[in-house]
Structure 1
Amino acid sequence: MALTLSGPARRRLRTLGFLSPWLIGFGVFFAYPLIATVYFSFMHYNQIKAPTFVGLRNWKYVFQDMPLFGPALWNTLWLVVVMVALRVVFGLSLGLLVTKIKSGVGFFRTAFYLPYLAPPVAATVAFVFLLNPATGPVNEVLSHIGLTGPNWFNDPSWAKPSLVMLSLWGIGDLMVVFMAALLDVPKEQYEAAELDGAGAWSRFRYVTWPSITPIVMFAVVTGVVQTMQYYTQALVAGKIASGVSIGPGSVIQPGYPDHSTLTVPQLVYSMGFQNFNTGAACVLSLVLFAIAMAVTMLLMRKRSGLLAAED
């Protein structure tokens, strides 16, 4: 007996077929890893023996007994606030500058975008060399004009600002995004504002900003998510500045100097793959996930976030 489906059932089945690639990808690459992370956060698992249930012991260890959790969380949140804010401001400023240039716009657009194409490790190595307190060209130039340069990556007070400077050097991605948004603002609105006597600041505030607010929100949300996963640059910069060689078989203890560049993702790697404490690593991952979700939801609220409330 042949099975016949009604019209609504056929439509639902067809819709499910179109959604199946996304559903499979969501299940394999997001839902399953998230559920597994929650599961292992309540287990003692060293990746060799079978996991055993330990209840809230991993959570208690992370929040009460792990000495580096506080510094790592503080460094991560500091980078999220400072780095994301400055990247958005500098990216928008460069976008405004390039869109206002009358000649040579192709050259400046390429010059500002090229640093973003440098591989993260190579860019970090070059930046640490430039900011070397003893032989770096930056401190040499400062000494020629009578200024004493800081120790940059060798000073706990300057290590995180140095990482922010590195991120601003590769600001080309946000510049291109903001350029596209700025060029999409209707010129008729600028002309109408000029006829009403609006100055440069008023045109930006009442014409440009409302038009690019969704793009700013996109830049902030993606910046928060990326910075919550900040790992490579901080690790490489700390190791090179400390003079420790990175090679096969070497055990890397991140955070130089004085744990000032230690981030939660580095702690996740150290706990999970160096100390084989998978339960604690999963707890740290869930803390990162919760913070990123909370910040994203706060930013996307229509009345108190970056999105304007609809009438």
Structure 2
Amino acid sequence: MEPLISVIIPAYNCEEFIEDTINSVLSQTYKNIEIIVVDDGSKDKTSELIKAMSEMNPSIKYFYQSNSGVSMTRNKAINESKGEYVAFIDGDDLWYDTKLQKQVDKLVSGKYDACFCGHISWYMDSEKKISNIVKFENENIAYEYIKSEMWPQTSTWIVRRDTIIDNDIKFTPKCNWGEDVEFFTKVVSLSKVCFVDECLSVYRIRENNSLSSDFSKKQVYYLNEAKKMWERLEQWFNTLDNNNLNEVQKAKIISYIRNYRIPFLLINTLWHGIKEKELKEKYANIYKQQETIDCINNFKPKFTRVDIKTFIKSKLLKFKV
């Protein structure tokens, strides 16, 4: 018998897209699914649209909660799910109709715990579409995943539910940046992972509303949230049972987070925002000068960027703490 897949859909003020999103799930060639939609306190017509669709199709299960953020919304949906696997799609994304079937075939044939595929980034303001396929060399991909410059997008994943529940993996509440990277880093560290080498998901990017598109105005927010996310992961790896990763593997991952990921996000953020006078004081309030310089001194990138490091160091010396 084909395994039941629980499709997790967080929804918030997405009346323009939610019907198309749900219909792309209903149109899957793989039919043994339940659709768990959690409305995170929408103030538009999202709620009534989902309710109307659920009345017409019993596979759609609708839940409502007061606004709590996307992490709590996904966590609630996972808790309400009954499937052997859970698949994720956000309330404004789309799937090609063979996505689930191709992934389930791969999961079952190789007895994998998780599977992802490629996705298309659709910039809706410009109608530009870009294909993105991430590949890893083996099925135990924790270190490769940490090192990656691009991660599989949330709506590309299917994960065995037991992997999530038995290991108490959750999306971090009140985290609105990097919650997906943190969640799936934990998943891949505890799983045998496969991928389908096709773009089977569409990530719709509403550029005017996207946090990432407003990067220059969100420097401090990005810096804080990203640093906290990597620090949480470092702590998690420190406490991870050796049955999943041995001490050498864990040490390698922790070293990469500490010596590359955290310094790089600091350097990258400063590189983009260093000329914006209003940001300098805010940065100084976040980091003590010596901590910032030490962080840069400890930076161990894959390619030495002496010019960038020297430039930023000289600018940091002018910060008043």
* TM-score normalised by length of structure 1: 0.29
Greater fraction of residues in helix: 1
**Which has the higher relative contact order, 1 or 2, with Cα contacts under 8 A spaced 6 or more apart?**
1
Q: Rg larger in 1 or in 2? A: 1
Greater fraction of residues in strand: 2
* TM-score normalised by length of structure 2: 0.28
